[in-house]
Amino acid sequence: MLPYIILLMRLVTSITIDKNVFIKTLNLFQGRSFIMNLLYREAIIMMENIKKVLLTEEQIAARVKELGAELTAEYKGKDVVVIALLKGCAWFVSDLTRAMAMPLRVEFMVASSYGDGTTTSGNVNVKLDIGQDIEGKHVILVDDIIDSGVTFAAISAMLKERKPASLKTVALCDKVERRINGLDADYVGFVIPDEFVVGYGLDYAQDYRNLPFIGVLDPKAYA
């Protein structure tokens, strides 16, 4: 009973409760009823500077399943290597590959063009490369979001030099308006507006990745 009271107090009043106590309280509600999930989500939003939920857990799960089915139809029977760009893509690629009903291999790459800000630095650094030869393989390059397009352009160019049989790109989110190089992903989960989003792997300065939904970060959080 006590957790309910604490949660409701926090939701309807401006009483400040120690963050750790609050988070522990909220954790008790995970996997509970719809109403509790709703309260939980609302509470996270209040806690973590999320302006609004853009894509719910349910919307993401449904779209990822569709993408998995599309990729399965295109690639079944081919020798496929899925290359995921860490860290943000870890959540997405884990769900996406489980929605692909076919044998495949998964590799991870760490590439970053972002500092702790919200816009690209323009330079893409590969900090960790994949561990296998992709010559003659069908490569599917996956990222959480395509923004300026700089990351996909740089990594695709690098991978093409290794002579894969084919290379296509998949992005869960696409901020079309922000593209600076005209490059489009071959598969896109959601076209989203030009706002900084976090959750389901997407971060701001390494925070928020574990939110189960994708939300718009309140600009006051990085002002």
Ranges within 161-220 binding ligand IMP (CB under 6 A):
196-198, 202-203
146 contacts ligand IMP (rule: CB under 6 A): yes
DSSP symbol at 54: E
- DSSP assignment of 61-72: HHHHHHHHHHHH
Give me the least distance between CB of 116 and ligand IMP, in Å please. Answer: 11
Q: How many residues bind ligand IMP (CB under 6 A)?
A: 19
Beta-bridge mates of residue 106? 82
Q: Is 145 in the site for ligand IMP (CB under 6 A)?
A: yes
Q: How far apart are CA 207 and CA 215, in angstroms?
A: 13
Residues near Mg ion (CB under 5 A) are: 88
Instruction: Output 39 or 214, the one with its CB closest to ligand IMP.
Output: 214
The token pair at 53 is 């939920």
Nearest residue to Mg ion, scored by beta-carbon proximity: 88
- Is residue 209 packed enough to be buried (19+ CB in 10 Å), middle (13-18) or exposed (0-12)? middle
- What residues are annotated to the active site? 147
Q: Which residues bind ligand IMP (CB under 6 A)?
A: 85, 88, 113-114, 120, 143-151, 196-198, 202-203
